Amino acid sequence: MIFLPEVELIVLGDVQGVGYRQYVTKIGRRLRLKGFVENLNDGTVRIHCKGDEKDISEFKKQINMKKPEAAPLIDVEDIQERQLDPGTIKQTFFEEVYGDERAEMSQGFSTGMKYMILF
């Protein structure tokens, strides 16, 4: 049986409350990866992704962003990577994982206000 690579990425920087999860999800789906992206309590973002090596490599390039034009509040400082055991990732597509409903709603409003002020 052939196993696709599975990796965990921990993203540090200004990556919460700036639309980063949505951006990562869009890229993951476009590259047909499987896995998820979620905010962690320490201010980082965790990503699990599974796919062809070339697609994962392209994914890592595209998510390593410093104030891109489309989302200038995103500022990735570092991405830490570790290999996961085969079969760890159960998702059949790439998805965004949400936390507490009230916290997510508050963060969404805050993110929207930050971009309104910026533009």
Exposed/middle/buried for 49, CB within 10 Å: 0-12, 13-18, 19+?
A: buried
CB 94 within 8 A of CB 33: yes
- Angle, helices 20-30 vs 53-63, to 10°: value is 150
Helix ranges (DSSP H) in 78-119: 101-118
d(CA 95, CA 35): 6
d(CA 20, CA 63): 9
Report, as residue numbers or ranges, the catalytic residues. Answer: 21, 39
